[in-house]
């Protein structure tokens, strides 16, 4: 498994669109705050606004202002500061210094990983403990018909690192296939299949048993493309009758975690996850 630190170039936050072009004019520069404050990029990354490097780029482009003055890379935020990104006010204080928390949720089929669903279907986030500060961020998604391990955290940078394509984090799934699968088909799935969004493959496939017409396989991918596992099997006319994620990176779905239940990792486990993600010491209570 590859786990190289990433540059974290996720898409800009929808509230941080580039402003309309205007005639060039001199802009004031904010004097960096004393060392007692916290860096802008750290706070906004924690809140899931963007990665640290992405936010640093916004700062160098002059897109952030503190108390009406253009920020610099050395600027720190203090209680009461008014922060704007592309002239839009950001309530940054709700992201300030909350301890990092990570949940393991055993998602059942029939639930959707979204904050609002116009169809009124059950939503994952309604099953989670409430946060006094910040919000839960899902590390990747599972579609409505896929069950198993879903990681959630209140730390935006940790979520970005675990999801970014350059980290190539392994996702392992248990798949139940209806009917026989030929060895030639398994070989094709590991060599690569051209899907509508590009070439894809399973990095590993392991037969794990089965009775009657149902056969179980464990497959590993290092991409988070939408419905990738299901689409790969269906490209070979294989019928997926059950799909369950059992591992994300170093985190394995506990056998004791029943469907619909939540487990919060402890400080030691959190530190190991930070090390896996190439981050420093975890901030815990």
Q: Look up the CATH number of the domain holding residue 178.
A: 3.30.2350.10
Counting the structural domains of the chain, the total is 2
Within a domain: 5: no
Rounded distance, CA 50 to CA 271, Å?
Answer: 22
Record the pTM: 0.69
Of the ranges 2-11, 126-135, 142-151, which is most confident?
A: 142-151
Within a domain: 280: no
So which residues are the catalytic ones?
A: 143
Within a domain: 6: no
115 and 256, same domain (yes or no): yes
Which uninterrupted H or E stretch holds 85? Answer: strand 83-85
pLDDT, tens digit, 9 for 90 and up, residues 70-87 = 999 988 998 889 999 999
Within a domain: 25: no
Domain that holds residue 85: 38-95
> 240 by DSSP, 3-state: which?
strand
61 and 172, same domain (yes or no): no
CA pseudo-torsion sign 169, 170, 176, 178: positive
109 and 73, same domain (yes or no): no
pLDDT, tens digit, 9 for 90 and up, residues 23-47 = 333 334 444 444 557 889 988 987 8
Within a domain: 199: yes
């Amino acid at each position: 498994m590859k786990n190289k630190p990433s540059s974290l170039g996720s898409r800009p936050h929808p509230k941080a669109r580039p402003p309309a072009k205007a005639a060039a004019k001199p802009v004031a520069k904010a004097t960096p705050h004393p060392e007692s404050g916290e860096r802008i990029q750290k706070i906004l990354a924690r809140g899931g606004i963007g990665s640290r490097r992405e936010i640093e780029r916004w700062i160098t482009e002059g897109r952030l202002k503190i108390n009406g003055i253009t920020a610099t890379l050395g600027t720190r935020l203090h209680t009461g500061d008014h922060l704007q990104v592309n002239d839009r006010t950001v309530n940054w204080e709700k992201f300030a210094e909350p301890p990092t928390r990570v949940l393991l949720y055993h998602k059942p089929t029939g639930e959707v990983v979204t904050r609002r669903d116009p169809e009124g279907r059950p939503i994952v986030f309604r099953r989670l403990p409430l946060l006094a500060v910040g919000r839960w961020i899902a590390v990747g998604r599972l579609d409505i018909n896929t069950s198993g391990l879903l990681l959630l955290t209140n730390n935006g940078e940790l979520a970005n690192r675990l999801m970014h394509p350059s980290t190539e984090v392994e996702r392992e799934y248990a798949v139940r296939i209806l009917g026989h699968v030929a060895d030639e088909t398994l070989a094709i799935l590991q060599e690569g299949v051209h899907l509508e969004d590009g070439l894809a493959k399973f990095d590993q496939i392991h037969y794990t048993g089965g009775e009657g017409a149902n056969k179980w396989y464990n497959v590993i991918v290092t991409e988070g493309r939408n419905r990738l596992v299901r689409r790969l099997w269906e490209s070979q006319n294989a019928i997926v009758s059950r799909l369950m994620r059992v591992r994300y990176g170093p985190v394995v779905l506990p056998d004791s975690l029943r469907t619909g239940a939540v487990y919060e990792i402890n400080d030691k486990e959190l530190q190991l996850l930070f090390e896996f993600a190439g981050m420093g010491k975890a901030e815990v209570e």
